[in-house]
Structure 1
């Protein structure tokens, strides 16, 4: 059974605050139109590093959500960059960016509600 809020040992950031930090860094990278792209990379690295600590909790689903959003978003942005040579890449790129923003908002709102981002 998964715990919504695992017991905290009192040292460092709680898993909840860390997950908020990850979403915040990811959003900062998006809002800055890539200027702070390192923030998005930092969010994904944090999610990978803390993924094991969150196993069996609600936060594991959020870390997986952020990681999948990053990799799928990167794939579609790169494909869109290639497609700009045939002028359809601008449309697919815009769709990819909207999808990434949607996933960050959906995941973050689910975290505020103490739910998994996969729950509809």
Structure 2
């Protein structure tokens, strides 16, 4: 039996990814998502732990990019950083959702880029 053949409950990590994507419209949902990720970070299944680790890092790195973009608006590069942050955030969430949907562990949960 391979890793993807063993069933596991994908509900909570999928909810976190959905909350992250919803945060692009209503930012507070990302806070709810990261709390869920922290609460479930010690899941029994290693595949789930990699997704939660990735989600937690996505929140904090995304917050860093957002703060950096906001602070640099005065010198004109803030918009580019914020656009980069949104694209980066979308790609990370979609890649995570795809891996989760396929029943795989996240391939690089400690990545700073797209994972």
Q: Could you tell me the TM-score, scaled by structure 2's length?
A: 0.82
- Tell me which of 59, 66, 70 is aligned to 1:81: 70
- Tell me which of 44, 47, 61 is aligned to 2:50: 61
Q: Name the residue aligned to 1:97.
A: 86
SS in 1 for 2:104: coil
1: CA distance between counterparts of 2:45 and 2:12?
A: 16
Distance apart, 1:117 and its partner CA: 2.3
After TM superposition, the structure 1 = structure 2 runs for residues 1-120 of structure 1, keeping only pairs within 5 Å, are 5=6, 15-30=9-24, 32=25, 36-52=26-42, 54-118=43-107
Greater relative contact order structure (CA < 8 Å, 6+ sep): 2
2: CA distance between counterparts of 1:102 and 1:46?
A: 21
CA displacement, residues 54-113 of structure 1 (integer Å, 9 cap, x when unaligned): 145200000011110110010011011111100011111111111011100100111011
Q: 5+ unaligned residues in a row in structure 1: which ranges?
A: 8-14
Q: Could you tell me the TM-score, scaled by structure 1's length?
A: 0.79
The number of equivalent residue pairs is 106
Taking only aligned residues, the RMSD between alpha carbons, in angstroms, comes to 1.9
